[in-house]
A = this chain, B = another copy of it.
């Protein structure tokens, strides 16, 4: 049993997540705190935050990896089965916490987790497109 520590770098990363409404990549996070710590440290902090269920990892349609803070509501059990929206124009990824797909699976598969990502135009880009 290891006890997590509150380090300067970890605090900086959490502050960035607190300010952001969208999902962020390792590079985007690192650029904001390159004077605080090393690249590798950011990777390791993100790993730990994912393991501790404080942040979840999202893989975009093109393979880009991003991270977003989890919203734990009042639920005891915390599962990241919500959908994500990937804007083709501004490339932002947003959590769609309330969008949950329904589907019918063939037999003989055991589904443990799902990943549902939609792409297109986000509200911002849709409006500026008129």
A residues at B contact (CB < 8 Å): 59-63, 65, 83, 85, 88, 96, 98-106, 108-123, 126-127
Contact = CB atoms under 8 A, between A and B. Distances in A.
A118 B115 CA distance: 6
Contacts of A114: 116-119
Nearest to A85: B109
Nearest to A88: B112
A118 B123 contact: no
A113 B119 contact: yes
B112 A104 contact: no
Nearest to A83: B103
A111 B103 contact: no
A105 B121 CA distance: 12
Nearest to A111: B120
A89 to B, nearest CB: 10
B99 A101 contact: no
A111 B118 contact: yes
A102 B101 contact: yes
A116 B63 CA distance: 14
A103 B88 CA distance: 20
Contacts of A62: 59
